[in-house]
Structure 1
Amino acid sequence: MPSDLPHLCMLEALTAEGATWSDKQIKAELSRERATVLVVDHGAGPVGWAVGWAVPGELHVMNVAVHPDHRRRGHARALLTTLIELHRGAKSALLEVRVSNEPALSLYRAMGFQHVGLRRKYYQDGEDAALMTLQLEPGPAASAE
């Protein structure tokens, strides 16, 4: 997956709304032990990607991005669904999203995420982030506790 780095950097620049991850940050995620990195590739390179961190009892969704020309095709939902499935032992999923990003907010609400707070001036440009969580059904790994 390190070979995806240039494509992911280009994709991030196209999709991020004022809060682009740097090449260094993306490279770090590709090798971070607790990170799960998923990529949607249509043969000519990635058109979407997501990063989730496994923290005790929780999936922290760090980033979901889809190329503008490939939006509204189910890629973001598929990436999130796969992240959740891969972290079946987690009790909840957590994410932050720009309060102005209505398409993402709508998707997250449709998937069952609930708005639980606000992170004031979370982004570099001063925009607030909505804090959202999703309570997850305990998977087989969690039910043995």
Structure 2
Amino acid sequence: MSITSTLLHTRWLVRAPIWLFRARLGFLFGGRMLLLEHTGRTTGRPRYVVLEAVEHPAPTRVVVASGFGIRSQWFQNLQADQRCRVSIRRLHQVPAIARTVTDEERAAIVARYRSHHPRAYAELSGVTEETVGLRIDEVPYVELTLR
């Protein structure tokens, strides 16, 4: 297991940025990271996850990838209720709607990401394959439309 894959399985480390976003310090991550607040599909309680913004196709839209595939709790929760809140840059808890992108859209997103971030693409591709057995172009991508 690579060090990156090991770190992704270290719960306290992965969840640490949540506290920075909740303290309104999300701007420290620029636009590369965001805090997604979603509703637990069985508990109905708020849940939080920090994700990489794969791309910003418009000022009110951002795309994220479910690096752990359809098993990701946040992804499953958004399938049950697409309403969520997003904190990114200096924006805090902005209401949003989630939509899983089509296969065609995903292929274009991955091509742009590979072109703009070749080193990150190479690293994430290996980690994703090692962790969930899927290539980065096979995991689901979600577009968040800020309201």
With normalisation by structure 1, the TM-score equals 0.36
TM-score by length of 2: 0.35
Indicate the structure whose relative CO is greater, using CA pairs within 8 Å and at least 6 residues apart.
Answer: 2
Pick the structure with more helix per residue. 2
